[in-house]
Structure 1
Amino acid sequence: MHVLIIGCGYVGERFAKQALERGWQVTALTRSPERADALQLAGINPVIGNVLEPESLRSLPQADLCLYAVGYDRSADENKRDVYVAGLKNVLSEIADRIPRLIYVSSTSVYGESTGDWVNEETLCEPANESGQICLDAENVVRELYTHNENRDATIVRLSGIYGPGRLIGRKEQLREQKPISGNPDGWLNLIHVDDILQVLFILASGPPSSPLYLLSDEQPNRRFEFYSELAKHLQTPAPLMPDEPSANFGKRCDSSRIRNELGVKLLRPTIQDGIPASIE
């Protein structure tokens, strides 16, 4: 199995390392020569290029599968729409004829619910902000270039909030320093631990073509105050400080039963009670 990774970040790099352990060949796109050296040392074949520079993508190899997991780098100069939509179109236009399978990592921000209602793969997407609209537009690029072609297979995986080792640092400091945490305390948080993201990605990568869309979240949405109280308990800090002002935005609750039922997934971290201890370094 040869996998091309576009977006070798928090999720992509972990996927790459586990793929190497399985004996797979791994190639990854990177913009940085220094990063390319580090990938090479890890056993990953680097290709130096930029999703916004089509000519730099011509050396992307033929492979069995592409995992596209690009996150937005707020420290970079690029516009988010350019990276997520135009960059994706550049990559898929280049690889579509030589890589038959695609797993595209998207986000549950494509939903616009704010009343605490449940959402799943059948829920109409009406993003509440520009960021969610950009994610939905990117999904439509995948559908246009991959899922409407009988010689290609694509699966879009909408992830709820990603957490795991290294992804709670800012919140940990807020709790320890007793700094207020913004957001409606009664609003719903939908989370998925990185261990379960990897588990599902490998099931999709190793099996036959699957459904074109899955939502991946853990089994129990939590109120924001509940989550930070649980985190504070494990960090042995005082209870979180959160605003008292009322808010009409309660967010959404994500139902990921389809992916568990269709693929037989048994989550490793089904609740925050399982996931938080596995996230504190």
Structure 2
Amino acid sequence: MGKTLDILILGCGYTGQRVARRFLAMGARVTATTRDPQRLAGLGVEVIGTGDLVKHVRKGMLVLHSIPPGGPRELLDPLRSQARRLVYLSSTTVYGAASIVNESTPVHENSERARARLEAERAIAEGPWSALILRPAAIYGPGRGVQESIRRGMHSLSEKFVSRIHVDDLAAHVEAALLSTISGAYPVADEEPSSSRDIAEFCASLLNVPVTNIGQKQADPALRFAHNRRVDGSAIRRALGITLTYPSYRVGIAAALSAETALVGSRYQSS
């Protein structure tokens, strides 16, 4: 019998919870930090504070770091003599104004957000552990994405191209990344970048909402800092052996809506 996997998730939020479930299903031991411990109740993870890391980090841990820049200082220090592998969730912000992005696209420190991300990436890449940096496009899934923006009347009809990745596909990338030895930095996205307008119109048709009813006063939060950009994530998929469950927003948004309906139904039955 092999050794039990020991996983640490720094910032166990929307994506981290799905990563935790994947490893828990393997019988792994999962420790996590989160801003809201209540949302991890019943999940089966050991919840700790970032200030308690030194007491809970163990030799050989595999670490997912998904805390954005501006988090606790000296966060990496307790990991230096203990972590074996570290995967960092960064952002496509680091590509600046590039309209076509792939694994060879240079980064640009042309904004404070990009500089902060790149500084965090460098700290991780220079650490004593094996490291891989993933730069996901806009993350969506149940309860998050265009469908939510439309419901709140916050989605603008833009001709900008945007790439996305379903949260479950991103979690699959993270799982494979933590179990691999691949290093470097790669963008992560699905196979169909599309204009914001096309995505909104498709989603509106699923919600049976006229496109003219979509509010245009405030943009989709996922697009607030977005450039007109197509992201090619095929290189890291090949390297990790990933086959996307949701290769396009067309299947991903439909699945997200179905999951939301199922969740509402289960809550109603248990009430």
Q: TM-score, normalised by structure 2?
A: 0.81
CA shift, 1:199, in A, is 1.2
1:184-212 Cα shifts (integer Å, max 9, x gaps) = x11111100011111111112223x0132
Q: Any stretches of 5+ residues in structure 1 without a counterpart?
A: 51-55, 72-80, 244-248
In structure 1, what is the equivalent of residue 170 of structure 2?
Answer: 197
In structure 2, what is the equivalent of residue 112 of structure 1?
Answer: 96
Query: Aligned partners of 2:207, 2:31: CA distance in 1, in Å?
Result: 38
CA contact (8 A) 2:65 2:88 kept: yes
Q: Any stretches of 5+ residues in structure 2 without a counterpart?
A: 218-225, 261-271
1:5-62 Cα shifts (integer Å, max 9, x gaps) = 1001001112112211110001112456xx2x76464321122234xxxxx4321321
CA shift, 1:102, in A, is 0.3
| Correspondence 1:90-169 to 2 at 5 A | 90-113=74-97, 117-144=99-126, 146=127, 149=128, 152-168=129-145
CA shift, 1:132, in A, is 2.4
CA shift, 1:93, in A, is 1.6
CA contact (8 A) 1:189 1:222 kept: yes
Deviates more, 1:129-138 or 1:95-104: 129-138
Counterpart of 2:90 in 1: which secondary structure? strand
CA shift, 1:91, in A, is 1.9
Tell me if 1:23 matches 2:27.
yes
CA contact (8 A) 2:10 2:33 kept: yes
Which of the numbers 38, 62, 68 marks the counterpart of 1:65?
62
In structure 1, what is the equivalent of residue 11 of structure 2?
Answer: 7
CA shift, 1:95, in A, is 0.7
CA contact (8 A) 2:53 2:78 kept: yes
| Amino acid in the other structure paired with 2:188 | L
Query: Aligned partners of 1:25, 1:38: CA distance in 2, in Å?
Result: 18
In structure 2, what is the equivalent of residue 44 of structure 1?
Answer: 45
Which of the numbers 253, 258, 270 marks the counterpart of 2:230?
253
Counterpart of 1:91 in 2: which secondary structure? coil
CA shift, 1:82, in A, is 2.8
Query: Aligned partners of 2:107, 2:227: CA distance in 1, in Å?
Result: 17
CA contact (8 A) 1:47 1:59 kept: no
Which of the numbers 165, 172, 184 marks the counterpart of 2:150?
172
CA contact (8 A) 2:63 2:178 kept: no
CA contact (8 A) 2:64 2:86 kept: yes
Tell me if 1:218 matches 2:214.
no
Query: Aligned partners of 1:82, 1:216: CA distance in 2, in Å?
Result: 23
1:232-262 Cα shifts (integer Å, max 9, x gaps) = 011110014558xxxxx95211111211222
CA contact (8 A) 2:155 2:216 kept: yes
Alignment CA distance shift 1:180-1:70 (3 Å): closer
Query: Aligned partners of 1:173, 1:229: CA distance in 2, in Å?
Result: 13
Query: Aligned partners of 1:231, 1:44: CA distance in 2, in Å?
Result: 34
Q: How many equivalent pairs are there? A: 242
Alignment CA distance shift 1:39-1:257 (3 Å): closer
Query: Aligned partners of 2:11, 2:35: CA distance in 1, in Å?
Result: 10
CA contact (8 A) 1:31 1:49 kept: no
Q: TM-score, normalised by structure 1?
A: 0.78
Query: Aligned partners of 2:154, 2:144: CA distance in 1, in Å?
Result: 18
CA shift, 1:125, in A, is 1.2
* Residue identity (%): 31
| Amino acid in the other structure paired with 2:119 | D
1:108-141 Cα shifts (integer Å, max 9, x gaps) = 0111126xx3112221111443222211221111
What's the RMSD between the two structures over aligned residues? 2.3
